[in-house]
Chains A and B, each alone.
Chain A
Amino acid sequence: MRRATWWNWLLCAPALVVLVVAASGPLVIVAVYSFLSPGNLGGVEWTFTTEAWFRVFFSRDMFEPDIVTWNDAHLVIFWRSVWLSLQTTVICALLGFPTAWFIATRRPGNRTLWLFLVTIPFWTNLLIRTFAVQEMIRNNGIVNTLLLKAGIIEAPIQMLYTDFAVLLGMAYVFLPLMVLPLYAAMERMDFRLVEASYDLYASRWASLWHVILPSVRPGLIAGSILVFIPAIGAYVTPRVLGGGRTMMLGNLIALQFGQGRNWPLGAALSMLLLIVVVAALVIYLRAVGQDRGPRRG
């Protein structure tokens, strides 16, 4: 018995080493870099400083270096990223829920077809899909042309390069990540429970709220996490559809490693993103875990 365990560990060792090194190695580098000084034209100088972390949160007035204030620009960008991700998650949930329900209530043979259709966007590169959205909503794009030809509008509506465009693009890109886990949860659901609730004179809303939602909650949680986390670091979609007028966290970090040439500040911002995501996850899982209450059924 003991020998078998030892043997198992040995066999797992290569995979474990790769996992630990590949997962924590880059993270350690990023963490260390965030405490160094920027090098000449990128890179770092090996002198310890907390300047990068200071700059994440505070800014010295450019013209009066003694005046230190909160770094409003960073805070605004952070909040925008979080807010946009929350909106994206909610929109994906609102659209994904009926979609998943529709698929889960088809005949088993047809479900595969519908699921297949949901996964088709994954065949195409994210950047190309984003440009496709751009093509649809630009001033002389498909949507505006159709509306103009139909006489519904007089002049093209400026949709591209607005917050609406960013939200549309994000919801489109992340929707399948919500549908798939929701579907998985619904497929496992016992539909007799819904019939039972009707037998007990529950209204449609009551059935949805007290029977269906609690049953598919794990899927909803998984879907929300899968959407929220990549959304908060999204770089391509805000850049292409938002027209770069306002920055997201991803763009702010890229700026430090590129044109800003301040790798330590970029590293510190990346660490902060990581901390925010982990904190959001913990808070979210606690919240949904607490009101789960006694198991129904």
Chain B
Amino acid sequence: MKQTMGLALAAVLGTGAAAQAEGVLNLYNWGNYTSPELLEKFTAETGIKVTVTDYDSNDTALARIRQGGHGFDIVVPSDTYVPTYIAEGLVVPLDDAIVTDRDNILEQFRDVPFDPGREYSVPWQWGTTGVVVNTSVYNGDRNTADIVFKPPPELSGKINVIPEMSDVMAIAVYYHGGERCTDDPEILRAVRDTLMAAKPHWLALDYGTVDAYIAGDFAAGIYWNGASMRARLGNPDIAYGYPATGFPIWMDNAMVLADAPNPENAMRFINFILRPENAALISNFARYANGIEGSEQFMDEVMRDAPELTIPDELKDAGRWGVVCPQEVTDMHTQIWTELLQ
């Protein structure tokens, strides 16, 4: 007994010493978004212990990073927030000596408008915001925003729209042929009228609704592709559509913070998630695509050819990256949104 205790103690001290020698890494990421398997593998390979702290919105994360003294090494902001992190000097360029595998990034994500040349960021996961529909209720064309804006009678009163102002406004502005941040009064007037006319057909504006789609409480809506896939796995009638008039593409990206206490470990982690077998672990956990070439073969079978994760070729051009609109435009969006929900 005593001997076992001694051994156990030695083992604990031993690993403790190893971890200390190799150091730690503090990851600041969205809640329920980081694969524990990924972290275990990283620790096993490098001896670096990883801690994860959650946030629930880009705004929360940015506010906390701006304040400083947070002790985080890596943050994973969405594409729209990446330019702000770079412009305000909150992140550092990736270290070419350690981050050597950037060629693994799929070509379409290698030179992105929010970080040209991928100097600062690598993909974590990406997805789209589109429409979802229960095909047992409505089996017409689903690659159109009409499903929520001018719904067929059988869908009326069974629609749920995610309460994400920027996503909904984007789809509505594209629907009327506008650019993401247009201040053209004619387009915004049409957007407002469309939304006001559509709302009586909506049952709710709610987030956590995978179960409600599976149970049939909702028959259609605006939704994210990964969540839509989870709904389909519970109910094969659920299908995802890409509005042909335009739909938002988003990507969350890992970046190294300028005041990171462990910048070298952070760079090693960044390179670690660029390897396809590791990126696949991220996707298997959170169910979104990751933007790393060749990771499909390491993904769970249900994800490999999922229609929710692959944009059809003819609709690829309809997918648009997000941008942060000027405050005047955001104010107009807020005004329309407030009027819509008054």
Q: Count chain A residues whose beta carbon lies closer than 8 angstroms to a beta carbon of B.
A: 34
CB A265 to nearest CB in B, in angstroms, measures 8
- Cβ proximity bits A39-82 to B, threshold 8 Å, 1 near / 0 not: 01111000000000000000100110000000011101100000
Is A207 an interface residue when CB atoms closer than 8 A count as contact? Answer: no
CB B168 to nearest CB in A, in angstroms, measures 10
Residues of A within 8 A of B305 (CB): none
Is B269 an interface residue when CB atoms closer than 8 A count as contact? Answer: no
Residues of B within 8 A of A38 (CB): 327
Q: Which of A73, A138, A140, A261 contacts B327 (CB 8 A)?
A: A261
Q: Are B204 and A244 in contact (CB under 8 A)?
A: yes
Residues of B within 8 A of A140 (CB): 215-217
Q: Are B205 and A258 in contact (CB under 8 A)?
A: no
The residues of B with any CB-CB pair to A shorter than 8 Å are 57, 59, 62-63, 66, 81, 84, 160, 163-166, 185, 188-189, 192, 199, 202-206, 212, 215-217, 324, 327, 330-339, 341-342
The distance in angstroms between the C-alpha atoms of A245 and B201, with both chains bound, is 11
| CB proximity to B under 8 Å, residues A263-281 | none
CB B171 to nearest CB in A, in angstroms, measures 15
Residues of A within 8 A of B57 (CB): 258
Residues of B within 8 A of A256 (CB): 334
Residues of B within 8 A of A259 (CB): 59, 164-166, 334, 337
Decide: A245 near B204, CB < 8 A? Known: A40-B84, A42-B59, A259-B164. Answer: yes
Q: Are B59 and A246 in contact (CB under 8 A)?
A: no
The distance in angstroms between the C-alpha atoms of A40 and B204, with both chains bound, is 31
Decide: A262 near B334, CB < 8 A? Known: A38-B327, A139-B215, A255-B165. Answer: yes
Q: Are A243 and B204 in contact (CB under 8 A)?
A: yes
Residue of B185, B192, B199, B334 with highest tally of chain A CB at under 10 A: B334
Q: Are A59 and B335 in contact (CB under 8 A)?
A: yes
Residues of A within 8 A of B330 (CB): 260-262
| CB proximity to B under 8 Å, residues A63-118 | 63, 72-74, 76-77
| CB proximity to B under 8 Å, residues A158-192 | 158, 160-161
Is A232 an interface residue when CB atoms closer than 8 A count as contact? Answer: no
Decide: A62 near B332, CB < 8 A? Known: A43-B66, A255-B165. Answer: yes
Q: List 6 A-B contacts (CB under 8 A).
A: A140-B217, A243-B160, A245-B203, A245-B205, A251-B341, A255-B338
Q: Which of B59, B331, B333, B339 contacts A73 (CB 8 A)?
A: B339
- Given A62-B189, A160-B217, output 4 extra A-B contacts at Cβ < 8 Å: A73-B342, A139-B217, A243-B204, A255-B165
CB A54 to nearest CB in B, in angstroms, measures 12
Q: Which of B62, B216, B337 contacts A255 (CB 8 A)?
A: B337
Residues of A within 8 A of B205 (CB): 243-245
The distance in angstroms between the C-alpha atoms of A43 and B63, with both chains bound, is 8
Task: Tell me what chain B mostly uses at the interface: helix, strand, loop, or mixed.
Answer: helix
The distance in angstroms between the C-alpha atoms of A77 and B205, with both chains bound, is 16
Is A225 an interface residue when CB atoms closer than 8 A count as contact? Answer: no
The distance in angstroms between the C-alpha atoms of A74 and B199, with both chains bound, is 18
Q: Are A247 and B215 in contact (CB under 8 A)?
A: no
Task: Tell me what chain A mostly uses at the interface: helix, strand, loop, or mixed.
Answer: loop
Residues of B within 8 A of A261 (CB): 59, 327, 330
The distance in angstroms between the C-alpha atoms of A164 and B332, with both chains bound, is 32
The distance in angstroms between the C-alpha atoms of A76 and B334, with both chains bound, is 16
Is A252 an interface residue when CB atoms closer than 8 A count as contact? Answer: yes
**Chain A residue nearest in CB terms to B211:** A138
**Chain A residue nearest in CB terms to B164:** A259
The distance in angstroms between the C-alpha atoms of A36 and B260, with both chains bound, is 32
CB A223 to nearest CB in B, in angstroms, measures 31
Q: Are A62 and B335 in contact (CB under 8 A)?
A: yes
Residues of A within 8 A of B189 (CB): 62-63
Q: Are A247 and B217 in contact (CB under 8 A)?
A: no
The distance in angstroms between the C-alpha atoms of A173 and B216, with both chains bound, is 28
The distance in angstroms between the C-alpha atoms of A138 and B63, with both chains bound, is 37
The distance in angstroms between the C-alpha atoms of A41 and B77, with both chains bound, is 13
Q: Are B165 and A62 in contact (CB under 8 A)?
A: no
CB B31 to nearest CB in A, in angstroms, measures 14
Q: Are B342 and A76 in contact (CB under 8 A)?
A: yes
Residues of B within 8 A of A247 (CB): 338, 341-342
The distance in angstroms between the C-alpha atoms of A62 and B186, with both chains bound, is 10
Residues of A within 8 A of B332 (CB): 62
Decide: A244 near B163, CB < 8 A? Known: A40-B84, A42-B59. Answer: yes
* Those 10 A-B pairs whose CB atoms lie nearest each other, nearest first: A243-B204, A244-B205, A260-B334, A73-B342, A63-B185, A259-B165, A247-B341, A76-B342, A161-B204, A73-B338
